[in-house]
Amino acid sequence: MTTLLIRNATCVATFDDNRTEWRDASVFVRENRIEAIGSTADLPQTADEVIDARGHLVVPGLVNTHHHMYQSLTRAIPAVQDAELFSWLRGLYPIWSGLTPEMVHVSTQVAMAELLLSGCTTSSDHLYIYPNGVRLDDSIDAAREIGMRFVATRGSMSVGASQGGLPPDRVVEREDAILADTQRLIETHHDAAHGAMVNVAVAPCSPFSVSRDLMRESALLARSFKGQGVRLHTHLAENDHDIAYSREKFNCTPTEYAQDLGWLGHDVWHAHCVKLDAAGIALFAKTKTGVAHCPCSNMRLASGIAPIRRMLDAGVPVGLGVDGSASNDGAHMVNEARQALLLARVGRSLEPFGCDHGPSEMTARDALAIATRGGAEVLGRTDIGHLAPGMCADLALFDLNTVAFAGGAVHDPVASLLLCASPQAAYTVVNGRVVVREGQLATVDLGPLVERHNRLAVTLALAAR
């Protein structure tokens, strides 16, 4: 049994049910679980590994609920820098059709490095394009090597342009092959245990790239693994074109489409939901269907402002997603939480009928709660998302003596994390293992990884010309 002591922290913000915040506190970890949190004097004074956390803020590891990590290879592509969702996708599909297993492996690690360095300990990823022998196993291997907790989702596209879908025919798959591979992945990699490092979810890409049959069959497949916590994920109601497609092709709203296909429930989470109407919010709340809110991507693609406060007030589970990487184009989870806070406030100011909350539409602690325990709920995880004895030891430490916190942390270290700037994590601990130490990734050599990633990004772009 190995132990880890995070000692003398200036503040430990647990985000437990009472949002307990300890001052001058320590966290004691045995193996992969938190054993105790409390005043430094009351906790063990030593352990196999001790982190001196004087001058540091400790928060639960942040949880990212929506991402496309392979897109790290196509960030800031000039031709689509200023495009909305559909033309952005049409511009990128031909490039993505050149993806290789090596590219997926390397880009996944780059995306995870960026997340880990921002204090994120668990991430979902939605890989929905499988050309040239790419497999979801490539992402899962990458996560195991770098040490990130991973919810790998088996995405898919089956309706190409010739059938009225958005993607070109050459990047879509046969539906029987999709379902067979999804079943293989669940049986091979999905772990339902407390502290699991890999979950597999079932994730047809979007209403405009898969058939209704595949949506229905996917839901049946996930739910055939009874009691195993196999979840369902897709994109929904992202922008006005998405709504118009739903109206034209299916003659219903995205929520009605989801309901008809069995895609509402506590085991489902949908990305974006920018255009969810009042009836949709009520239905999501009633069925405990989760939402991955992606504020940066929604701003980048001018998709709109998701009604997050209304969702929260109604009881919809809401987590945060950096999305992208090429529609953000960043993967900094603290920054994403900051943008969620800012966007909620500016969204409220645009409301035609009065202003219920004003600037308190979303507080810093609200946004951090969404980024931690909200994300855990959306991913169906009861073992992560807040700090308490028995929970997985997933934590992030931020150095309050840096310029990012100057003049802020002395008043409120927790709110400063979002209100002042978007600092890098000093330490990131995943499942009891120190993955970021003194601001540096400890599991993978980042310099050569980025160099290799950049070479592959150029190769991929050139191949599409």
Report which of 283, 330, 391, 342 is spatially closest to residue 36, judged by C-alpha positions: 391
Q: Are 92 and 109 in contact (CB under 8 A)?
A: no
What minimum distance in Å lies between the beta carbon of 438 and Zn ion?
33
Three-class secondary structure of residue 270 per DSSP: strand
| Rounded Cα distance, 271 and 234, in Å | 6
The smaller minimum CB distance to Zn ion, of residues 15 and 93, is found at 93
For Zn ion, the closer CB: 276 or 436: 276
Total binding residues toward Zn ion, as defined by CB under 5 A: 1
Which 367-426 positions form the footprint of Zn ion (CB under 5 A)? none
Provide the 3-class DSSP secondary structure of residue 184. Answer: helix
- Return the SS3 of 441: strand
Judged by CB under 5 A, which stretch of 113-121, 321-329, 350-358, 378-386 contacts Zn ion? 321-329
Q: What is the DSSP letter of 453?
A: H
Question: Residue 397 pairs with which residues in a beta bridge?
Answer: 58, 427
Output the smallest distance, CB 157 to Zn ion, in A.
13
Least CB distance to Zn ion at residue 271 (A): 5
Task: Please give the structure tokens belonging to residue 17.
Answer: 């049910």
Cβ-based nearer residue to Zn ion, 301 or 341 = 301
In whole angstroms, how close is the CB of 297 to Zn ion at the nearest point? Answer: 7
Helix (H) or strand (E) holding 141: helix 136-146
Stretch that binds Zn ion, among 14-22, 149-157, 317-325, 420-428 (CB under 5 A): 317-325
- Collect all residues with Cβ–Cβ distance below 8 Å to 21 and sequence separation of at least 6: 11, 12, 13, 14, 414
Query: 322-361 mask for Zn ion (x: CB under 5 A)?
Result: -x--------------------------------------
**Residue for token pair 């989760």:** 290
Q: Which of 33, 10, 31 is nearest to 387 (CA)?
A: 33
Q: Which stretch binds Zn ion (CB under 5 A): 101-109, 216-224, 246-254, 318-326?
A: 318-326
Binding marks (x or -) toward Zn ion, 102..121, rule CB under 5 A? --------------------
- The single residue listed with the structure tokens 């001790």 is 50
> 223: part of which helix (H) or strand (E)?
helix 212-224
Name the residue nearer to Zn ion (CB basis): 114 or 323. 323
Count CB-CB contacts under 10 A for residue 230: 21
Q: Pick from 457, 401, 397: which is nearest to 424 by CA?
A: 397
Closer residue to Zn ion in complex, CB, 142/274:
274
> Which single residue brings its beta carbon nearest to Zn ion?
323
- Minimum Å gap between C-beta 68 and Zn ion is 6
Candidates 204-212, 319-327, 358-366, 388-396: pick the segment binding Zn ion (CB under 5 A). 319-327
Shorter beta-carbon distance to Zn ion: residue 55 or 319 = 319
Residues 218-257: x/- map of binding to Zn ion (CB under 5 A)?
----------------------------------------
Determine the interface stretch with Zn ion among 15-23, 163-171, 252-260, 315-323 (rule: CB under 5 A): 315-323
Minimum CB distance to Zn ion smaller for 10 or for 246: 246
DSSP string, 283-295: HHHHHT-EEEE-H
For Zn ion, the closer of residues 323 and 361 by Cβ is 323
Q: Which is nearer to Zn ion, 190 or 270 (CB)?
A: 270
Answer for the pair 33, 390: CB distance below 8 angstroms, yes or no: yes
Q: Which residues bind Zn ion (CB under 5 A)?
A: 323
